[in-house]
Amino acid sequence: MKKVILRPSLFALFFILFSINAHSQEVEADSMATASAENAEAASSVVPGGDPEAGEKLFKSLCAACHKPYERAVGPALHGVVNKYDGDFEWLYAWIKNSQKLIKSGDSRAVAIYEEYNQTAMNAFPQLSNQDIDNILAYVEQPKPEPKVAVADNTAAGGQAQGNQISTDLILAILSFVLLLLVVILYLVNKTLNRFAEVNGVQLKSENEQPKKPLWKAYAENGFLVLVTAVVFLLGTAWFGYGYLMQVGVDQGYEPIQPIHYSHRIHAGENKIECKYCHSSARVSKHSGIPSLNVCMNCHKQISKVADETQAKGEEEFNVDYNAEIAKLYEAVGWDKTTQSYTGETKPVKWVRLHNLPDLAYFNHSQHVTVGQIECQQCHGPVEEMEVMYQHAPLTMGWCINCHRETNVKVKDNGYYTKIHEELSKKYNVEEFTAADMGGIECGKCHY
């Protein structure tokens, strides 16, 4: 109880301190500093003795899994929590340190909030001291920062990018203008010279010139040239004809439009999520399946918006609104962001499959990924750089066979190969075997 009595005086002291600070900084006209000082001031007016900076660290490591300051997450939004409980810090300390104990003790407010949030239990934090909790509360009680900074950054970045584009366009325009000017000048010079020649009576063309034979006639009369042309023409036709026939049924570069603009570049590239995190069945199954939507929700329960820079980049470079794409995901799984719960109305996402083998070929992911230890990128290309997925390899039979001829079987630490490796290496006096040596290009291995 002592603490509660102490509070008003502390409160006054801090208020004065911070208002002095704020004033002096306003004079220095550093708007950023003033803003943060004002935030801190506002926070400390609610939570005396709390240090928002120390609180931020604690909040991000311990609380942010379930709480956001200004939005509802698994737990309620925390901004304004002190006023909600009339500054009853003792109760807040007790709740944060061990909410379950408080509920079991029958505290009416504790039971009420437990019921309100579907009996989701909050973890206990016995390691936090009262001071720590003050710091955290000070952090969440800061007024919501205006998104000024991010917006300013975006426009600056946008302006710069646009500036670059303009400058290259400008250079090109100037160059073409100069070229045009040169042509005009040349024409004019030629015209003037001709006129000079005419005036001076210089004969430009000899008078007794025979009428010229048309070029095509001369060409047609030259048997050798015609022969050469015919040969070149036939070779060219064969070349293009063969080339055309060889690409029938090859889908290399196939890049369909997907129902949700999913970016491998962001997930696998920037965020460095392991390939097998989402395509987990590649380890154990014939199919490396498209992840079901519960895998999306592993992370996107918490990430309902992309970072501002990512959003800006998406709009500028790829013409996508990433946040709207995440909203599509929520619609498909039936996730209600405002209540943080599933509505039960689901509809599957109809992804377009782009790597298609004919049904007459058998391909098994697990024996290539787990046993063969082949990197995903070897067949699917630099997926972590693809904004939109496309087919990297031709997936033709020749491509398969080629790799089987060049790749050695991983016999090490594989009990299945111990005996055959021992015998064959004795017989042929070699250590390494390719997949082809092991029968990897027999018809029945892939075509039953």
Partner 1 sequence: MKYSILFIFCLTLSLSSCADKDDPNYQYFPDMYESLAYETYQEADIFQNEQEAMLPVEGSISRGWMPYDYEDNLEGYDLAKAELKNPLVYSEENLKKGEELYNIYCATCHGKKGDGQGWLVQQEKILGVPSYDDQGRAITEGSVYHVMYYGINTMGSYASQMSEKELWQVDHYVMKLKAELEGKPERAFETEADNEKENEIETEAEEKEVATTE
Residues of this chain that interact with partner 1 (CB under 8 A) are: 60-67, 73-74, 119-121, 123-127, 216, 233, 236-237, 240-241, 243-244, 247-251, 253-257, 270-274, 276-277, 280, 284, 287, 289-290, 292, 294-295, 297-299, 301-303, 307, 347-348, 350, 353, 356, 358-360, 390
Angle between helices 130-140 and 31-46 (to 10 degrees): 130
Between 122 and 435, CB nearer to partner 1: 122
Between 120 and 378, CB nearer to partner 1: 120
Give the rounded distance of the alpha carbon of 382 from its chain centre.
13
CB of 336 to partner 1, least distance (A): 16
Q: Pick left, alpha or beta for residue 3 (phi over 0 → left; psi -120 to 50 → alpha; otherwise beta).
A: alpha
CA 392, CA 382: separation in Å to the nearest integer? 8
Between 119 and 206, CB nearer to partner 1: 119
Taking the CB of residue 46, how many other CB atoms lie within 10 A of it?
Answer: 19
Between 123 and 162, CB nearer to partner 1: 123
Which residues 6+ apart lie within 8 Å of 315 measured at CB? 321
Give the rounded distance of the alpha carbon of 294 from its chain centre.
19
The H or E element that residue 211 is part of is none
Greatest distance between any 2 Cα atoms in the chain: 125
CB of 217 to partner 1, least distance (A): 12
Q: What is the CA radius of gyration of the chain?
A: 37
CB of 311 to partner 1, least distance (A): 13
Q: Do 315 and 308 contact (CB within 8 A), yes or no?
A: no
CB of 34 to partner 1, least distance (A): 25
CB of 424 to partner 1, least distance (A): 22
Between 112 and 299, CB nearer to partner 1: 299
CB of 224 to partner 1, least distance (A): 17
CB of 331 to partner 1, least distance (A): 15
In order of 120, 244, 269, 273, the CA distances from 265 in angstroms are 35, 33, 5, 10
Between 124 and 185, CB nearer to partner 1: 124
Between 322 and 433, CB nearer to partner 1: 322
Between 85 and 351, CB nearer to partner 1: 351
- By DSSP bridging, strand 335-336 and strand 341-342 are antiparallel
CB of 124 to partner 1, least distance (A): 5
Between 41 and 384, CB nearer to partner 1: 384
CB of 139 to partner 1, least distance (A): 12
Of 79, 90, 85, 84, which is closest to residue 39 (Cα–Cα)?
A: 79
The H or E element that residue 186 is part of is helix 148-200
In order, the DSSP letters of 249-270 are T--TT--PPPSS---HIIIIII
Of 373, 369, 405, 376, which is closest to residue 392 (Cα–Cα)?
A: 376
CA 444, CA 439: separation in Å to the nearest integer? 10
